Amino acid sequence: MGYTYQYPRPSVTVDCVVFGLDLAAEDLKVLLIQRKKDPFAGLWAFPGGFVEEDETLEESAKRELQEETGISRLYLEQLYTFGDPGRDPRGHTVTVAYYALVKLSDHTPKAADDAKAVDWFSVSKPPKLAFDHAKILKMALARLRAKVRYQPIGFELLPAKFTLSQLQRLYEIVLERPLDKRNFRKKILGMGLLIDLEETQKDVAHRAAQLYRFDEERYRGLVAEGFNFEI
Amino acid sequence: MGYTYQYPRPSVTVDCVVFGLDLAAEDLKVLLIQRKKDPFAGLWAFPGGFVEEDETLEESAKRELQEETGISRLYLEQLYTFGDPGRDPRGHTVTVAYYALVKLSDHTPKAADDAKAVDWFSVSKPPKLAFDHAKILKMALARLRAKVRYQPIGFELLPAKFTLSQLQRLYEIVLERPLDKRNFRKKILGMGLLIDLEETQKDVAHRAAQLYRFDEERYRGLVAEGFNFEI
DNA sequence: GCGACTTGGTGTATAGTTTACACTTATGTC
DNA sequence: GACATAAGTGTAAACTATACACCAAGTCGC
């Protein structure tokens, strides 16, 4: 039993580069799964798998993520498609890579799901990766760093309620450079995209900061008028 | 005779959205091929075709372009991968779309190659397109418009030797808005990326303009130092 | 040969944006 | 209540972007 075609076809897979922000450790993390089988048994790889009949690429990416890591709510965007004939030793495989942003607090430990080891790693010192996943990670990071500056996707990495300092730290971690506190606040508040929740942090050993949330509706309205987000 | 696999596999194709700039008509053009066979016989589509064994996606795109239109020297960049199950009535087909920029002067008439009709169309009023190619064109245009502002890819659309007015017109056509002549010249010359060829236009019925070429080497050098091109 | 036509080429002043920079306030801990 | 920690706040200077109009050079037609 099998599926027969007149011409050879490459396999088609999806891979998800899932980023999470660890505010406590001030570090950007990536979610990886340890491979149990060859090729590359023991190495780490992005969650992903074969595209099935009658599903879109994005559905496929979401399904694989759900199956392998339990993650469901996330920001997902297509990154790039990798199709070099030698990238999978089992045969020509084209993979459509996605990158995803999740609120780390919603998906914290998440180790050992269905017998597979799943863990978060610092993007700056990942373990040895299977296939061409190191190259994919590099591209995903470059995309995230570029995109975070002109699209308000950073909020996807923060809890729904956040302080201005947390938001600033997010940008500092992703962009790997310090930002001036007063200028940052002036700029971000000036956009009018943050809603002051009139609520402050609890249980912090210093002056409690004001909490905000991102005003997505207003962002959509402003974009329609030609507004450009920029950090 | 055929190729048999344990699980079903979608077909994998590449499609190329080739842009050319018609300075005489002040119009951005896209290269299309008229389909002879069903599905969508008679409609127009991007050059493209099936990815073969042992070729990279980019090689595949270049090969198809060469075969179907004779175009070889061009700027080529991956755009997006489209894989909705219903996009090809013959069955699940994943297409990796590329967009390409060519110097129209190098590939002018190009109609009727191997019995297939090939022609340039204005991007603003294309003919009826096959498959989901209207959606792909829309995305390619959006990408071109975004990218032309922060990467010096516009030069790929101009002849090697060009005038500042031609360069300005290119941006006006692609971005669909007028630019101030003095400000444009100040900005573009200020980047130091143009080499004054100390040569002027010939055979024009008015004062002949200075010719320039793009200094690609210097651009690479500046990028390495952290320079950002921006119009 | 000269006037009309077409496009090339040039500078400055103003408004807006970005950057650099340091102290006071609020809260919990010891 | 002194200390530690992070929150919160304004201004001046440098730089960048924008708006704007005329003369120069060459061809065409008479």
pLDDT tens, position by position, for chain A (231 residues)? 799 999 999 999 999 999 999 999 999 999 999 999 989 999 999 999 999 999 999 999 999 999 999 998 899 999 999 999 999 999 999 999 999 999 998 876 555 555 579 999 999 999 999 999 999 999 999 999 999 999 999 999 999 999 999 999 999 999 999 999 999 999 999 999 999 999 999 989 999 999 999 999 999 999 998 899 999
So what's the pLDDT on residue A33? 96
Q: Are B16 and B45 in contact (CB under 8 A)?
A: no
How is residue A116 annotated by DSSP?
Answer: S
Among B15, B11, B58, B7, which residue's Cα sits nearest to residue B35? B15
Write out chain B residues lying below 8 Å of A56, CB-based.
83-85
Q: Is B133 helix (H, G, I), strand (E, B) or coil?
A: helix
Which residue of B53, B83, B85 is in closest CB contact with A92? B53
Tokens of B203: 């055979």
Q: Are A49 and A66 in contact (CB under 8 A)?
A: no
Contact B10 A53 (CB under 8 A): yes
CA–C1' B76–D9 (A): 50
Q: Is A140 helix (H, G, I), strand (E, B) or coil?
A: helix
CA–C1' B207–C20 (A): 48
So what's the pLDDT on residue B106? 83
CA dist B211 and B146 (Å) reads 27
Q: Are A68 and A60 in contact (CB under 8 A)?
A: no
CB burial readout A109-138, b (16+ within 10 A) else e = ebeeeeeeebbbbebeeeeebbbbbeebbe
Contact B55 A80 (CB under 8 A): no
Among A231, A220, A42, which residue's Cα sits nearest to residue A130? A42
The set of residues with CB closer than 7 Å to nucleic strand C is A 180-183, 186-187, 200, 204-208, 230; B 163-165, 181-183, 185-186, 200, 204-210
Write out chain A residues lying below 8 Å of B5, CB-based.
2-5, 9
Write out chain B residues lying below 8 Å of A88, CB-based.
none
E strands present in chain A: 3-5, 11-22, 27-34, 44-45, 48-50, 75-82, 93-102, 118-122, 194-200, 210-214
The set of residues with CB closer than 7 Å to nucleic strand D is A 163-165, 181-183, 185-186, 200, 205-210; B 180-183, 186-187, 204-208, 230
CA dist B18 and B129 (Å) reads 14
Q: For an interface test with B, which of A58, A59, A94 has the most B Cβ atoms less than 10 Å from its Cβ?
A: A94
CA dist A157 and B150 (Å) reads 26
Tokens of A22: 């660890």
CA–C1' B184–D16 (A): 13
The stretches of chain B forming alpha helices (DSSP H) are 57-69, 133-150, 164-175, 181-190, 216-224
Domains of chain A from N-terminus onward: 11-150 (3.90.79.10), 158-224 (1.10.10.10)
Task: Per-residue pLDDT tens, chain B, 231 aa: give them.
Answer: 799 999 999 999 999 999 999 999 999 999 999 999 989 999 999 999 999 999 999 999 999 999 999 998 899 999 999 999 999 999 999 999 999 999 998 876 555 555 579 999 999 999 999 999 999 999 999 999 999 999 999 999 999 999 999 999 999 999 999 999 999 999 999 999 999 999 999 989 999 999 999 999 999 999 999 899 999
The dihedral sign for the CA sequence B180, B104, B159, B217: positive
So what's the pLDDT on residue B26? 94
CA–C1' B224–D11 (A): 35
Which residue of A9, A57, A84 is in closest CB contact with B9? A9
So what's the pLDDT on residue B110? 55
CA dist A79 and A60 (Å) reads 14
Q: 């891979």: which residue's tokens?
A: A15
So what's the pLDDT on residue A27? 96
So what's the pLDDT on residue A202? 92
So what's the pLDDT on residue A110? 54
Q: Is B9 helix (H, G, I), strand (E, B) or coil?
A: coil
CA distances from B197 to B71, B160, B212, B214 (A): 28, 11, 5, 10
Q: Are A111 and A29 in contact (CB under 8 A)?
A: no
Contact A81 B92 (CB under 8 A): no
pTM of the entire predicted model: 0.95
Q: How far is A2 from chain B (nearest CA, A)?
A: 5
CA distances from B184 to A127, A166, B176, B188, B192 (A): 48, 40, 15, 6, 13
Write out chain B residues lying below 8 Å of A85, CB-based.
53-56
